[in-house]
Each structure stands twice: as structure tokens, then as C-alpha cells.
């Protein structure tokens, strides 16, 4: 991750050529109230090509897909069990929104540019490991992921140790400020959600408002976005690296704002110069020997593709393609190759003008979207064991999951109950009861503690039941594999990151 920066002249030349594309003349309707719709062909795109994109999403665990061109929605898909109207956790695409708010705060005079040293914003705190390098760290270094702070959060499948340590700490902002310096600020790219947490803390201080309130007032409401949610750290500071939840259509509005140079309905919401900075991102990300990704102001850039993105873990993406006037919003649960997705988008863009009507292609696109929106029922006979274990409560040995016991009900309306401890070290418990799909389809449940859950199960052997639990808005999937032997059960728990735990239990029923 930490490699010397490359020379940038060729890249600067290339991006300078595409800068005006960030300020396209607006010719379509503003989607403040709702997105206007059109067939792909009316906007110069191929319906069959977009159907292939929907299929790509199904093969790569997308949750939702919204495609717009020239201000009109031309394709949309929601992959079951995710549904229209649900919010989705943006993960690190939140960073692009935090940077946008930073630009707005500068425009309003609440921040005097990006060159002020970070420690000056926290003069009331005692900070560890202060040296000349830490004193030189600026707001711009936070925005560009070049702060120099010692931080391990690789953009790979490796464990993000520093992120987890921050999450376990009682004060996230202090934890980040106290990190030692690993290199001089500006030396090289090193991804850090800690940088973004400092940004939200600075925004809250300088605007005198909680960041979600500032965002609602200055960004979301002018764009017609409502119903957003934003997580907070233990001190009530909005989580800058991953905490925002939006509907997919609203994600596309943010991309549309950038497509038009920060302008919305004749008002400059974000400084045009700020949007141009995103189009000139110059920090090499050094993630691949074959893909030249650049970073700037919390946005990703693929210069060769003229593609600009706010990107979150498992491909939560706000994608802006200024040359073609296309904006995409995507959510999902898998890190698929960006180039493959972009190839499909580029292939679907055929002309700047309307194409001949293609009713068969439009029908195919609608059919593909309909198919991914529902699951096909699968009839499966239950083994004799199902009746024997139904209704029995299995008490588990002490475990890190904090689960005390569970009960399966495998009769006419399948369901399950889990009793877990409220917190580590607490004797208080809570019980969650959820329906269980045994027909190949996720069974929906009402919100539990504000979160939406769905679950389904299948018998993978005569003595083994596999239970899949999803939180669609969280992009979380947890699998429980239960192997029954007599009055005992061996339970394997696999979380969304692939971490596995093995538990045991038994029933006295």
C-alpha cells in the first residue's frame, strides 16, 4: 500500500482535457421530486445491453441498480430480498458525501480552505505522538488519504485491524488523533476510515451543527432527498467513513449533482471548483499493476475510463461518466471487477441521440428486472429429523457471539427464536423471533430494533440444516450450519466477512 508516488504529468494533461465535462449544460428535468423516466433507446442506450448489466448484477450479488442518462432514469433493478424504497448502507461511499459537505462548508466560509493543520482544530485535546510530521498534517491530507498516520485498512480481503481497533475504542476521534505517524503527510496513499472520522468531527466543530443536520439542510433537502440515516460514534459524531444509509435513487441524485458541476435547479450547491478537483484526482492508489486508480477528496478516479466514483466496500457505488452523461448508483455484497461493470455500461451507450424504438429490447430489460426482484420457490422434503427437533430449545456453551440458546419451529409456519445477551458481561437477555423460509425464498419479518431481517433455510443433509439470515439494508449475510447428533448440536457461524466460529450445544427437552 505504501509505495513512492509516481510522476503525474501525463495524468494531469489527461484530466485537464476532461475538466469541462464536469459542468455539463443541463437539458433534462431536475429529479428533485422524482426521476423522469425514459426508454434506454430514447436516451441513446441499448435496452439489451442494460439487460446484460442487470444479469451481471444478479451474478455478482448486487442489491440494487439505477441507471440514468441525461437526467432520466432508463433502467432500475432490485435484487430480492432487497426492495424499492429500502435504504442501503453506503459503507465507504459515505466518504464521498463527507467530502462534498466539506466543499459546501468552504463555500459558506465555515472552513478556510483545506491547508489548515489538523491539530489546530483539536487544540483543546491532548494528543499523543505529536511530532513535526503530525503537526504538518492538513485537512487536504485527510481528504486525499495521505495523512501519514499509522493505519492498517487495506483495500483487499486482508483484515482492517486499525478500523476494528477504532470501533472497539471508547473515543474514535481520540483514537485516530493518537495514532503515531508512519510517514510524512503527503508521501503516499494509505486508506483510512480514521481520516474520514476526523473530517466529520471537524465539520461538526466548524459548522456548529451535527453533520447529519448540516447534510440535511445544505445538501439532501435541496436535492429532494429524505429519510436518510447516519450512524454515530460513542460521542455522537457522525461516522465519516461508512455510516450513511440512502435509497438507491437518492444515491444517483448525488452523482447527478457532480455531473452538473455542483449545480442544482440553478443554485450552486457545491462549488464548481470543488467538483473540478474530483475530476483532477492525482493521488495514485497503487492497488493494481494493471489498473491506474487515482484518489482525491474521498472520490476514486479511473482516468482511462473518465469514470469518477464514490466507492464503498462490496461495491456501494455512485458512478459519474461525464463524457456520456450517464450516472449509476449500485449497491451490493461482492467486490466484482470495476472494469467488467464499466465495459457493460460503455457497451450500452450507443449514441448521443435517440435510437430507433426497440420494444423487444425494452420488454427483455423489464423481464430481467422482474426476474431478479423475486425468488423462485423450491419444493424440498424435510428429513424425519425435522419433526424430532422442532420446538426443542438448544442451550449453547458460552461463546463470543453472546448467543445463549435457540429454538427451531419447523411445522406449518416455520420460524426460529434466538436468545442472546444484551451486552458482553451482562446477564440480561433479549429474544428475537423470525419467520424461516423453507421453500427457497427469504421469509420477511418486521423490523427488529430498527433493522430489517429476512431468513431462509435448507436441509443439506439428513442431519444438517443451513440457515441464511440477511439484513438487506445492511448488506449483511450470516450463515448458520446446524449439525444434529442425538440431543447435541454443532453450530458453525460464518459472518459477512467470512470469519467462522464453531459452537456446541445440547437440549434437555
Distance CA 417, CA 408 (A): 7
Distance CA 30, CA 133 (A): 46
Q: 437 is written with which cell numbers?
A: 423460509
Q: Are 357 and 62 in contact (CB under 8 A)?
A: no
Percent of the chain exceeding pLDDT 90 equals 84
Per-residue model confidence as pLDDT tens digits over 26-77: 667 899 999 999 999 999 999 999 999 999 999 999 999 999 999 999 999 9
Distance CA 356, CA 161 (A): 54
Q: Are 88 and 473 in contact (CB under 8 A)?
A: yes
pTM, whole model, 2 decimals? 0.91
| pLDDT for res 499 | 86
Distance CA 67, CA 75 (A): 5
CA angle 243, 247, 250 (to 5 degrees): 100
Per DSSP, the three-state class of 195 is: helix
Residue carrying C-alpha cell 443536520: 213
| pLDDT for res 331 | 98
Mean pLDDT of the chain: 92
Beta-carbon neighbour count of residue 291 at 10 Å? Answer: 13
Alpha-carbon distance values, 351 to 322, 354, 415, 449 (Å) = 14, 7, 52, 48
Q: Answer yes or no: is pLDDT of 131 > 80.
A: yes
- Least confident window among 205-214, 222-231, 286-295: 286-295
- For residues 329-355, average pLDDT: 96
**If you write DSSP's letter for every residue of 362-415 in order, what string do you get?**
HHHHHHHHHHHTSPPP---PPPTHHHHHTT-EEEEPP-TT-EEEEEEE-SSS-E
- For residues 361-367, average pLDDT: 98
Q: Answer yes or no: is pLDDT of 1 > 50.
A: no
Per DSSP, the three-state class of 475 is: coil
Q: Are 312 and 92 in contact (CB under 8 A)?
A: yes
Phi, psi at 446, each rounded to 5°: -70, 170
| pLDDT for res 24 | 58
Alpha-carbon distance values, 117 to 128, 132, 453 (Å) = 16, 11, 44
- Least confident window among 4-13, 110-119, 234-243, 320-329: 4-13
Q: Which residues of 255-289 are buried (b: 16+ CB within 10 A; e: fewer)?
A: bbbbbbbbbbeeeebbbbebbbbbbbbbbbbbbee
Residue carrying C-alpha cell 449544460: 25
Residue carrying C-alpha cell 435448507: 458
Residue carrying C-alpha cell 466548524: 206
| pLDDT for res 103 | 97
| pLDDT for res 451 | 80
Q: Answer yes or no: is pLDDT of 446 > 70.
A: no
| pLDDT for res 380 | 76
- For residues 383-410, average pLDDT: 95
Q: Answer yes or no: is pLDDT of 20 > 60.
A: no
Reported as a pLDDT band with limits 50, 70 and 90, residue 424 is confident
| pLDDT for res 8 | 32
Distance CA 316, CA 326 (A): 17
**If you write DSSP's letter for every residue of 7-37 in order, what string do you get?**
P-HHHHHHHHHHGGGGBPPP-S---SS--EE
Q: Is 314 exposed, middle or buried (0-12, 13-18, 19+ CB in 10 A)?
A: buried
Alpha-carbon distance values, 201 to 129, 159, 244 (Å) = 20, 25, 15
Beta-carbon neighbour count of residue 107 at 10 Å? Answer: 18
**If you write DSSP's letter for every residue of 221-284 in order, what string do you get?**
GGGT--S-EE-B-TTS-B-TTT-EEE-HHHHHHHHHHHHBTTEETTEESS-HHHHHHHHT--EE
| pLDDT for res 2 | 33
Alpha-carbon distance values, 490 to 43, 257, 291, 358, 463 (Å) = 56, 52, 44, 55, 11
- For residues 406-411, average pLDDT: 94
- For the chain, state the CA radius of gyration: 25
| pLDDT for res 445 | 76
CA angle 238, 240, 246 (to 5 degrees): 80
**If you write DSSP's letter for every residue of 99-166 in order, what string do you get?**
HHHHHHHHHTTSS--S-SBHHHHTTTS--SS--HHHHH-BHHHHHTT---B-----SSSS--HHHHHH
Amino acid at each position: 500500500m505504501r509505495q513512492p508516488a509516481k510522476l503525474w504529468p501525463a495524468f494531469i494533461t489527461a484530466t485537464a482535457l476532461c475538466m469541462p465535462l464536469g459542468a455539463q449544460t443541463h437539458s433534462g428535468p431536475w429529479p428533485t421530486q422524482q426521476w423522469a423516466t425514459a426508454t434506454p433507446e430514447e436516451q441513446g442506450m441499448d435496452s439489451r445491453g442494460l439487460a446484460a448489466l442487470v444479469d451481471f448484477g444478479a451474478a455478482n450479488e448486487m442489491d440494487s441498480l439505477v441507471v440514468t442518462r441525461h437526467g432520466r432514469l432508463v433502467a432500475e433493478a432490485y435484487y430480492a430480498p432487497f426492495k424499492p424504497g429500502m435504504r442501503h448502507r453506503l459503507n465507504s461511499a459515505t466518504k464521498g458525501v463527507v467530502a462534498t459537505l466539506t466543499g459546501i462548508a468552504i463555500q459558506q466560509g465555515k472552513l478556510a480552505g483545506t491547508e489548515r493543520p489538523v491539530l489546530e482544530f483539536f487544540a483543546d485535546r491532548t494528543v499523543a505522538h505529536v511530532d513535526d510530521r503530525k503537526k504538518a498534517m492538513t485537512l487536504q491530507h485527510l481528504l486525499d488519504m495521505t495523512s501519514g498516520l499509522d493505519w492498517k485498512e487495506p483495500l483487499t480481503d486482508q483484515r482492517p485491524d486499525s478500523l476494528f481497533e477504532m470501533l472497539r475504542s471508547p473515543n474514535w476521534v481520540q483514537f485516530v488523533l493518537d495514532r503515531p505517524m508512519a510517514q510524512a503527510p503527503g508521501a503516499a496513499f494509505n486508506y483510512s476510515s480514521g481520516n474520514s472520522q476526523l473530517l466529520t468531527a471537524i465539520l461538526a466543530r466548524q459548522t456548529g451543527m451535527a453533520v447529519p443536520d448540516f447534510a440535511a439542510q445544505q445538501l439532501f433537502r435541496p436535492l429532494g432527498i429524505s429519510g436518510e440515516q447516519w450512524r454515530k460514534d460513542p460521542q455522537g459524531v457522525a461516522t465519516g467513513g461508512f455510516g450513511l444509509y440512502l435509497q438507491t435513487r437518492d444515491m444517483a441524485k448525488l452523482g447527478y449533482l457532480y455531473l452538473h458541476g455542483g449545480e442544482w435547479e440553478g443554485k450552486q450547491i457545491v462549488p464548481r471548483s470543488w467538483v473540478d478537483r474530483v475530476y483532477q484526482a492525482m493521488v495514485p492508489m497503487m492497488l493494481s499493476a494493471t489498473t491506474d486508480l487515482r484518489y482525491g477528496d474521498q472520490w476514486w478516479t479511473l482516468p482511462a475510463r473518465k469514470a469518477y466514483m464514490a466507492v464503498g466496500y462490496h461495491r456501494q457505488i455512485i458512478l459519474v461518466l461525464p463524457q456520456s452523461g450517464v450516472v449509476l448508483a449500485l449497491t451490493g455484497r461482492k467486490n466484482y471487477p470495476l472494469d467488467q461493470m464499466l465495459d457493460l455500461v460503455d457497451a450500452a451507450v450507443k449514441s448521443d441521440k435517440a435510437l430507433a424504438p426497440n420494444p423487444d429490447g425494452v420488454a427483455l430489460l423489464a423481464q430481467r428486472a422482474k426476474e431478479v426482484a423475486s425468488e423462485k420457490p423450491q419444493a424440498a422434503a424435510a428429513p424425519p429429523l425435522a419433526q424430532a427437533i422442532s420446538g426443542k430449545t438448544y442451550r449453547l456453551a458460552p461463546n463470543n457471539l453472546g448467543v445463549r440458546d435457540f429454538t427451531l419451529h419447523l411445522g406449518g409456519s416455520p420460524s426460529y427464536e434466538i436468545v442472546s445477551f444484551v451486552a458482553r458481561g451482562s446477564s440480561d437477555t433479549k429474544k428475537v423471533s423470525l419467520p424461516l423460509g423453507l421453500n427457497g425464498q427469504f421469509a420477511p419479518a418486521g423490523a427488529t430494533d430498527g433493522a430489517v431481517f429476512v431468513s431462509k433455510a435448507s436441509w443439506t443433509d439428513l442431519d444438517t440444516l443451513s440457515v441464511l439470515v440477511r439484513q438487506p439494508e445492511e448488506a449483511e449475510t450470516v450463515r448458520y450450519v446446524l449439525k444434529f447428533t442425538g440431543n447435541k448440536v454443532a453450530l458453525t457461524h460464518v459472518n459477512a466477512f467470512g470469519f467462522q466460529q464453531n459452537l456446541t450445544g445440547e437440549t434437555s427437552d
